[in-house]
Structure 1
Amino acid sequence: MMEDKRWKGVYSFEDSPFIMEVLTELRDKETDSISFRKGLVKLGRYMGYELTKTMEVEKIKVETPLEETEGVVVKDRRNVVIITVLRAAIPLMEGLIKVLEHARVGIISASRGKAPKFEIEMNYVKVPQVKPEDTVIITDPMIATGSTLIKVIEEVKKYGSPKRLIVLGVLAAPEGISRIKEAHPEVEIFVTKIDRELNEKGYILPGLGDAGDRAFGAPIKVSTLPQMHTLE
């Protein structure tokens, strides 16, 4: 895990060969949906382990079958709220919760419209009450323009003021990180890699495509569905 000097509180995992190998598989256009989802789960789990390195630890005494010794408890691991941004973040959450098994989970359905306006539509919000001792982790694989996450963060803040507010993703564009940090400077951002830039359609380059579509399949447009006729 390494901090990016361009912003305060922004970290990537570009120093991890294992994570870069998983990311390489996700980038490959030939990777199928099952393998793509499994890759996201791997990343969520690994980043969960890494996040515990930044959490408060308490030393305790423990009795082994032979004698007393010193151990540790990761206190913050007991007070976590994971916010899953549908739908691409579901596998990331699955990986995270394997490490942060005490976490309470919230769900927000939010989608970004087309360029150039990138209007955000938020259809469903179910977030548990946030306590002052909580670490809130918002999971969204792609931090592109930052528009969706800015709205999600604003919504999450309505449920309380946490000890830490973290955005966790797979890839980020510099433009999106800058926008999020400008709107919410206290937010910490953890991603596997910070890519080069956005294109005119708001996609990350070199990126990996639409994470939701690649994980779960592209949605079918209503106009392409077969016509149903009733018998009279």
Structure 2
Amino acid sequence: MIKDNRWNGVYSFEDSPYLMEILTELRSKETENIKFRKGLVKLGRYMGYEFTRTMDFKKTRIETPLEKTDGVASGDRDHVFIITVLRVAIPLMEGLIKTLEHARVGIVSASRGKAPDFEIEMNYIKVPRIKEEDTLIISDPMIATGSTLLKTITEIKKCGNPKRIVIIGVLAAPEGITAIKEEFPDVEIYVTKIDRELNDKGYILPGLGDAGDRAFGEPINISLLPMMHNLE
């Protein structure tokens, strides 16, 4: 895990040859849907494991068959809340839950409009109640302009004040990170790699294309219901 000195609280995993190998396969235009989804699951699982290094754990005293000894028990890992930004974040979330198995899960449906305005349409929010001890993780593979995440954070903050707000993604553009940190400086960001820049259509370069389409196929656009807030 590498701290990026351009911002506070921004980290990448560019020091991991294993993750760079998976990312290379995801970038390739020859990688088909199933391999793409499996790659996102692998990234989520490994990044979730690495993220636990930043969490608080409890010390405990146990007794082995031979003697008493000190050990470690779950602390923050018992209080994780993952927000999944539909639709491409689903396999990334699947990987995260393999490590953060106690996590509660919320769903946000949001779509970004075309350049140059990149207006965000948010149609659906369904989240469990947020608690003060929660580590809130927003799972979104592509941090491009940052506009979707800015809207998501704004709406989620209306539902409670967690201990930490963290974004876990695959790729980020410097423009998106800067936009998020300017509005929400305390939000932490963890990505596999920080890419070079955005193009004029708001895609990350070199990037990996439209991650949603590559994971699940190109969708047929249909009309959506007005935005709903549903707190469980």
TM-score (norm 2): 0.94
- One-letter amino acid of the counterpart of residue 26, structure 1: L
Deviations 1:96-128 (A, max 9, x none): 011111111000000100001101000110011
Partner of 1:67: 67
- Quote the Cα distance in structure 1 between the aligned partners of 2:182 and 2:3: 18
Please report how far the alpha carbon of residue 129 of structure 1 lies from its aligned counterpart in structure 2 after TM superposition.
Answer: 1.0
- Quote the Cα distance in structure 1 between the aligned partners of 2:206 and 2:74: 37
Partner of 1:142: 142
User: Which secondary structure does the structure 1 equivalent of 2:43 belong to?
Assistant: helix
Provide structure 2 residue ranges, at least 5 long, that are not aligned to the other structure: 223-232
Deviations 1:7-43 (A, max 9, x none): 0000000000001000000001000100000000000
- One-letter amino acid of the counterpart of residue 151, structure 2: K
Partner of 1:123: 123
- Quote the Cα distance in structure 2 between the aligned partners of 1:189 and 1:202: 19
Runs of 4+ in 1 over 6 A off after TM superposition: none
Question: Could you say what the CA RMSD is over the residues aligned between the two structures, in angstroms?
Answer: 0.9
**Greater relative contact order: 1 or 2 (C-alpha under 8 angstroms, separation 6 or more)?**
2
Residue correspondence of structure 1 range 1-232 to structure 2 within 5 A = 1-220=1-220
- Quote the Cα distance in structure 2 between the aligned partners of 1:187 and 1:138: 10
- Quote the Cα distance in structure 1 between the aligned partners of 2:99 and 2:5: 28
- Quote the Cα distance in structure 2 between the aligned partners of 1:46 and 1:90: 16
User: Which secondary structure does the structure 2 equivalent of 1:69 belong to?
Assistant: strand
Please report how far the alpha carbon of residue 220 of structure 1 lies from its aligned counterpart in structure 2 after TM superposition.
Answer: 2.9
Identity %: 74
Please report how far the alpha carbon of residue 180 of structure 1 lies from its aligned counterpart in structure 2 after TM superposition.
Answer: 0.3
| Aligned length in residues | 222
- Quote the Cα distance in structure 1 between the aligned partners of 2:193 and 2:113: 24
* Residues 30-39 or 65-74, more deviating: 65-74
- Quote the Cα distance in structure 1 between the aligned partners of 2:187 and 2:139: 13
Bigger Rg, structure 1 or 2: 1
Please report how far the alpha carbon of residue 66 of structure 1 lies from its aligned counterpart in structure 2 after TM superposition.
Answer: 1.9
Judge conservation of contact 1:9–1:189 (CA < 8 Å) in 2: yes
TM-score (norm 1): 0.94
